[in-house]
A and B are shown apart, each in its own frame.
Chain A
Amino acid sequence: MVQNLLSIENLSISFGRGDKARRVVEDLSFSIAPGECVAVVGESGSGKSVTAFSVLGLTGFNGGRIETGAINFTRRNGQVVDLAKADEKTLRAIRGDEIAMVFQEPMTALNPVFTVGEQISEVLRQHRGMDRQAADAKALELITRVRITDPARRFKQYPHELSGGMRQRVVIAMALACSPRLLIADEPTTALDVTIQAQVLDLMRELSREDGMALLFITHDMGVVAEMADRVVVMRKGVRVEEQAVGPLFAAPNHVYTRRLLDAVPRLGAMAGSTGPAPFGTDPAACQGKQPSSEALLEVKNLSTWFPIHKGVLKRHVGDVRAVDDVSFTIGRGETLSLVGESGSGKSTTGRSILRLANPHAGQVLLEGRDVLKLDQQAMRAVRRDMQIVFQDPYAALDPRLDAFEQIVEPLVIHNIDKGSALRDRAIELVRRVGLEDEHLERYPHEFSGGQRQRLCIARAISLSPKLIIADESVSALDVSIQAQVVNLLMELQQELGLSYLFISHDMGVVERISHRVAVMQHGKIVEIGSRAQIFEAPGQDYTRQLIAAVPVADPSRRVAPKLPAFA
C-alpha cells in the first residue's frame, strides 16, 4: 500500500473560549494519497473551510484552536510531520512550498498594492532562495503556464486591472510556483462565471496531472465534485457523514443528507420535454402550473444604456461603454423571462434600467402600456409599487440596523398603505408566506442565515403586491440546497400571486428550472431569445451552446477530458 500523503485523524477544532467555545469540526478523519483528488463537500457552516486551513496550520490566525487529533503530512524528504503540532518554522517551510492553497475570492485574495508578478515571484524568492531576476523569469513562465495571454504585460499589472477569472489564474500560478505535493482549493470557482469556472477546473485538473499533485477540493457544488474528485468526503455541521469514491457516491449515496445535496443540484436537461417551470424535487412532466397569459405586462423596446468615458484634464467625452445596446423583449403576466450571460454582458444594467436605477439613454419601457422612462418623479413612485427587485447579496441589501419587521413594512409605510396593527398583521402574513416564522420579525439581519435573509428580501419585495419582480442573481450567492428552496419559493409565489419575473442569472441549471422563456445576452445585446425548450434543446447561437456546455454535469460517469481554450 502506498503511504498516504495526508492523513487527518480524529481532528477536532473549536472557535471561541470558555462558555462561548463552539466545536466546528468534530472527530474528523480522512486521508489523501499522492496525486489523488479528494473533495470535501458540505454547506456553509459545515466546517470544510476550517478543515482546509488547519492543514496549512493557519487555524490560529483565524481565531480557532485544534483541540485533538493529528494532521500527518508526508514531506518531500519522506519525513512525516504532524501539522497540528508542528512549530511555526516548520509550518512556514511547508506552506507555499509543499502545500499550497487557492482561495474562494480571487477579488480579495491578492494584495491590491503589489503587481501580480511580484506576488508570484515572492514565493520563489522565499522558498527557493532565487534572486529577483531568476524568480521574475520563473513567475513569468508560471503566468504563461496558467494560460494568461500577454503574460509580459500582465506580469506588471495590479490585481484590479485583471478580471476575476484571470485573478484566480494568478492565485493558481502562485500556488503552483514551488510544485507543491498538495494543493488545497477552497471553493475556487464559486465566485466565477460558469464558462470561466469550466476553464479554471480544466486548468487545475490538467496541471495537477502534469505535476502529480494531490488536490484537496473544498466545495458545496456537487456538479464540480462530479467533474473533479476521485473520492468524496461529505461533511455536515463539523462531522463527516459519508465517504465514498465518487462513482458509487453519485450512484448510491449512503446517507440521506448526501441524497438531499444531490437532489438539489440542477441537472441540465432534466426539464426536456416539459413546457412550464417545475420546482426542484418534482417531476417536470407531472407539474401542471398555471400558464402565463399572452398579454404583455412589460414591453422593453430598443432599450440602450450607455456609460460615458471621460478622458484628459478637461474630462472630454471620448466614447461610451454600451452596457445595454438596443435591447427589446416582452414579459407576459405570470411569465418568467430569464436573462442569461456572463459577467459584464449587461444583464444587471438591463434590470436596473427598467427600474430607472440606471439611466437609459434611449428606448421605451412599457409597463401595462405606460412608458416608465417618461414618468415624472411622483408618477414614478406610484409605478415602483408594481415593480420590485431582489438583489444578489441579501446581506448587503438589508439595513443592518433595522429588524426584520421594520425591513418588511418599510415599503408599506413609504407608500402609505397600512398603519398600526394592520402593519403587524401584514408583516406576519408576509414572513409566513416566505417560510419564516413570526418570531423572526424581531431579529436583525446578522441573526439570519443567507437563505433566510434572501427570504426576507423576497417578503419585502412582495409586500407591495407588485406585478413584476426583477430577480438579479438572487440565488447565486446561496448554497445549492438553499438555492433550490428559494427558487421553489419564487415559483410558488408566481403561481399564487400571478407574478412576472425577469430572472437574471448566469446559472443555466437554475434558469432551466424556473423559466418560461430565456434571453441570452452578450456584449450588451440579446443574441438569442426563445422558449425554454428552444434555447436549451436547440440553441441557435454558438455562445448559447458554450454557456450550456460549461455547466458542470453532476454525473461523474459523463466526465469529459479537459479541453483547454486559451484565455483571452
Chain B
Amino acid sequence: MWRKMLDQLIRRTIGAVLTLGVVIAATFFATRLSGNAADYLLPPGMDAQSKQAMIVQMGLDQPVLVQFWHYLQGLVTGDMGISLYERRPVADIYAERLPNTVMLFIYALVIAIVVGLPLGLVAALNRGKAIGSAIMGIAFIGYATPNFVLAIIMILVFSFNLHWLPSSGSMTPLHFLMPAIVLAAPMLAEIVRFTRNAMLDVLGQDYLRTARAKGLPEHVVVGKHALRNASIPIVTILGLQVAGMVARVVIVESVFATKGIGDLVVYAAIGRDYPVLQFGVVLIALIVVISSLVVDYAYALLDPRVKVAAS
C-alpha cells in the first residue's frame, strides 16, 4: 500500500518538474516576443556603435535559441544572470526581496486558516440561525471587496485616523500586519465558505449517525469524525488559494510598498528587465507547483482511499 502511494507521488513529482520546464520555456520566449530590451533600456540619443556594443555585452545579439541554452545552463548552475537595469546579479536582488514576500505569505496563510476554519465550523453548526447567516454575509463581503479597496480603507482607518499601524514599508513585523490581512481576506472568505459546505455535507453522512449511536459526545462527533472528513476538500481549496494569493501579492505589495518579489516582477515587466522577470515568473511558478504538490501529499495522508484510487 505504501508502495502504491510512493509510486503515485513520484509520478506527481515528475509531472510537477515537467510543468515547471514548460513555464520556463514559455516565459523565456514570451518575453522575447514583447520587443527588444535594448530599445527600451538604452538612452534614445545613443550612437549606433555604442548601442551595438551594449547589445553584445548583454548577449542580446545571439540567436534566441542560443540565449535560451545559456539561460538554461545558468538556471542549472545557479547563475540567474545580471539585471539589465540594476546591473547586479538577479540572485542577489531576489535574496533581498524574497524573505519579505515569504513572511507576508506565512502571515496571510496563518490568519486565513486560524480565523477561517473556526468561523466556517460555527457557520455550519448554526445553519439557518442568525450567527450562521452573519458569518456567511461577512465572508461574502470579504470575498467581493477588491483588494486595493480594502487596502486603502484599512490604511485610512488604522494608519491615518487611529495611528495604530504603519501604512507602508517592511521594516518591522508590524508593517506586515495590514498587507497580510488584505492578502488573507479573500482566502479567508473562501475557507469559511468551503469549511461550512464541507461540514454540512459531512454532517449528513451515515457514519456520523454511527458515531452518535456509539454514545460519543458531540465535540468528538464533530471535532474528530466530521472534521477529519471535511478537511479533505478544505485542503484542496487551500492549494488553489495559494495560487490566487500569488496573483494578489503583486497588488498588495505595490499598495503597501512592501519590498517583495511581487512589486519587483511588476517593475521588471514594465522595464523589460528579462533576467529579473524570467526568474520572477519561474519562482512564482515554483511556489504554485510546490503548493499543489503539498496538497497532493496532504491528500494522500488525510484520505486513505486516495492510495487505492491511484491503482
Residues of A within 8 A of B302 (CB): 113
CB nearest neighbor in B for A309 = B311
Nearest CB of chain A from residue B25's CB, rounded to whole Å? 24
- Cα separation A105 to B311 with both chains bound (whole Å): 26
Q: Is the CB of A111 within 8 A of B207?
A: yes
> Does A11 sit at the interface, judged by CB under 8 A?
no
> Residues of A at under 8 Å CB distance from B?
56, 58, 61-62, 91-97, 100-101, 103, 105, 108-114, 122-123, 126-127, 158, 160-161, 171, 174, 309-313
Q: Is the CB of B209 within 8 A of A174?
A: no
Q: Is the CB of A95 within 8 A of B305?
A: no
- Cα separation A316 to B225 with both chains bound (whole Å): 37
Q: Is the CB of A100 within 8 A of B207?
A: no
- Cα separation A112 to B307 with both chains bound (whole Å): 13
Q: Is the CB of B206 within 8 A of A61?
A: no
Query: A126 with B308: in contact, given A103-B209, A113-B228, A312-B7 (CB under 8 Å)?
Result: no
Nearest CB of chain B from residue A58's CB, rounded to whole Å? 6
| Contacts beyond the supplied A113-B304, A126-B216, A311-B4: 10 A-B pairs with Cβ under 8 Å | A58-B213, A95-B213, A101-B210, A103-B213, A105-B206, A111-B207, A112-B229, A112-B304, A113-B229, A313-B10
Residues of A within 8 A of B215 (CB): 91-97, 123, 126-127
Nearest CB of chain B from residue A103's CB, rounded to whole Å? 7
> Does B217 sit at the interface, judged by CB under 8 A?
yes
Nearest CB of chain A from residue B242's CB, rounded to whole Å? 23
Q: Is the CB of A96 within 8 A of B214?
A: yes
Contact with A along B198-214 (1 / 0, CB 8 A): 00000001110111111
Contact with A along B75-104 (1 / 0, CB 8 A): 000000000000000000000000000000
> Does B129 sit at the interface, judged by CB under 8 A?
no
Q: Is the CB of B213 within 8 A of A110?
A: no
Q: Is the CB of A109 within 8 A of B210?
A: yes
Query: A109 with B206: in contact, given A122-B214, A160-B304 (CB under 8 Å)?
Result: yes
Residues of A within 8 A of B207 (CB): 108-112
- Cα separation A101 to B215 with both chains bound (whole Å): 11
Would you list the 4 A-B pairs with minimal beta carbon distance, nearest first? A96-B215, A95-B215, A96-B214, A108-B206
Nearest CB of chain A from residue B304's CB, rounded to whole Å? 4
Q: Is the CB of B7 within 8 A of A313?
A: yes
Nearest CB of chain B from residue A261's CB, rounded to whole Å? 27
Residues of B within 8 A of A95 (CB): 212-215
Q: Is the CB of B7 within 8 A of A311?
A: yes
Nearest CB of chain B from residue A437's CB, rounded to whole Å? 34
Residues of A within 8 A of B11 (CB): 313
Is chain A's interface secondary structure helix, strand, loop, or mixed overall?
Answer: mixed
Q: Chain B contact residues (Cβ within 8 angstroms of A): what range?
A: 20 to 34
Which residues of B from 200 to 245 have beta carbons under 8 Å from A? 205-207, 209-217, 220, 225, 228-229, 232
Residues of A within 8 A of B216 (CB): 92, 96, 122, 126
- Cα separation A473 to B304 with both chains bound (whole Å): 30
- Cα separation A109 to B211 with both chains bound (whole Å): 9
Residues of A within 8 A of B214 (CB): 95-96, 100, 122-123, 126, 174
Q: Which of A96, A310, A313 contacts B311 (CB 8 A)?
A: A310
Which residues of B from 226 to 276 have beta carbons under 8 Å from A? 228-229, 232
Q: Which of B225, B308, B311 contacts A111 (CB 8 A)?
A: B225
Residues of A within 8 A of B213 (CB): 56, 58, 95-96, 100-101, 103
> Does B303 sit at the interface, judged by CB under 8 A?
yes
- Cα separation A524 to B205 with both chains bound (whole Å): 34
Q: Which of A58, A93, A158, A309 contacts B212 (CB 8 A)?
A: A58
- Cα separation A62 to B208 with both chains bound (whole Å): 11
- Cα separation A100 to B214 with both chains bound (whole Å): 7
- Cα separation A161 to B232 with both chains bound (whole Å): 19
Residues of B within 8 A of A313 (CB): 7, 10-11, 14
Q: Is the CB of B229 within 8 A of A111?
A: yes
- Cα separation A174 to B213 with both chains bound (whole Å): 10
CB nearest neighbor in A for B4 = A311
Contact with A along B101-138 (1 / 0, CB 8 A): 00000000000000000000000000000000000000
Which residues of B from 257 to 311 have beta carbons under 8 Å from A? 302-305, 308, 311
Nearest CB of chain B from residue A329's CB, rounded to whole Å? 32
Residues of A within 8 A of B205 (CB): 108
Residues of A within 8 A of B209 (CB): 58, 61-62, 103, 109
CB nearest neighbor in A for B210 = A109
Nearest CB of chain B from residue A422's CB, rounded to whole Å? 44
Residues of A within 8 A of B212 (CB): 56, 58, 61, 95
CB nearest neighbor in B for A120 = B214
- Cα separation A112 to B231 with both chains bound (whole Å): 13
Residues of A within 8 A of B14 (CB): 313
Nearest CB of chain A from residue B215's CB, rounded to whole Å? 4
Residues of B within 8 A of A311 (CB): 4, 7, 311
Can you list 25 A-B contacts (CB < 8 A)? A56-B212, A58-B212, A91-B215, A95-B215, A103-B206, A103-B213, A105-B206, A110-B207, A111-B207, A111-B211, A111-B225, A112-B229, A112-B303, A113-B228, A113-B302, A113-B304, A122-B216, A123-B214, A123-B215, A160-B304, A161-B308, A171-B210, A310-B311, A313-B10, A313-B14
- Cα separation A169 to B164 with both chains bound (whole Å): 62
- Cα separation A158 to B303 with both chains bound (whole Å): 10
Residues of A within 8 A of B211 (CB): 111
Counting chain B CB atoms within 10 Å of each CB, the highest count among A92, A94, A113, A171 belongs to A113
CB nearest neighbor in B for A111 = B207
Nearest CB of chain A from residue B172's CB, rounded to whole Å? 42
Nearest CB of chain B from residue A310's CB, rounded to whole Å? 7
Q: Is the CB of B305 within 8 A of A112?
A: yes
Residues of B within 8 A of A56 (CB): 212-213
Residues of A within 8 A of B7 (CB): 311-313
Residues of B within 8 A of A160 (CB): 304-305, 308
